[in-house]
Structure 1
Amino acid sequence: MLLKKIFTAILLMAFSFSAFSHGDKKEEQSPLMVNTDTEVGKVVAQFHAALQNSDVETIKTILAEDVLIFEGSGAERSLEEYASHHMKSDMKFLASIDSKLIERNIMINGDIAISSSRSKLTGSFKGKELNKVSIETLVLKKVRSAWKVIRVHWS
């Protein structure tokens, strides 16, 4: 039932982007950086900083216990599973390469938000040169006045 509500909210947000993207104030923002200065935008930035700085405690406060993470062809279905499997390798990877944010678009509708980002990744990792664009989608939900990441998709 919760998944159906989240899916419905995502669809509504996607089809009504122009109605919800502005809020009450008109801000000067790059068309590639939308709503990054919001509370949600700050949580997304904290999540990325925590991954790059191997800050496990901050990551555990941002990710929901039942977070669903899709990366490549795999899935991790909880914070506990992610912490015991790929979190450390993701941290090592991000600490060893350069990541430059190209664009981030955040849509907020009530207690649900979606962050869509593209980043340029360069450098080398485990002896392999890297030069690619990474795509990320985060779905956040406001839980007891705090924004939590409930879905992650990296490709």
Structure 2
Amino acid sequence: MSSGNKLSEWNDQKLQRLTEKISRQFFQRPFKHQASFNSRLRTTGGRYLLVTHNIEINPLVVIHGKTELLIGVIKHELCHYHLHLMGKPHTHQAGEFKNLLMSTQGIRYVPQLQPLKLRYLYVCSDCGQRYYRQRKINLQKFVCGRCHGKLKLGSHFAS
């Protein structure tokens, strides 16, 4: 099955039904707001919007992974949702959030959804430590993190 087909199987209504089902099954509470895909999300699997109480899911989660990954992201966002509506701490650092996430078997981190475009390789002149970067760095300002040696541009990969 190609990645385009995986995404075409999904729409906002199907995501809404799945979110409502997961909310009832794992949280014993209804999900009364909107769940939708947001293709503008780049570095996160999903987000919970505090003002509207809606949940947005990155469509790359569907393209990239299995249904278990999507369910894990939905559980993560529902933890934020239900804790916030109950007036409890709902940030990633809060103990309540961590406990609820663990008890529902939600995922804490989403794997890299898009490949990184690493274009530059910097090498330490002293210890040989290699650093891959997306952008150029100022070689007058930065030094090796391991030995504080001078960095030099090792390679430039065309994008």
Shorter-chain TM-score range: under 0.3
| Higher strand proportion | 1
The TM-score, its normalising length taken from structure 1, stands at 0.27
Give the number of the structure with larger relative contact order, counting CA–CA contacts within 8 Å between residues 6 or more apart: 1
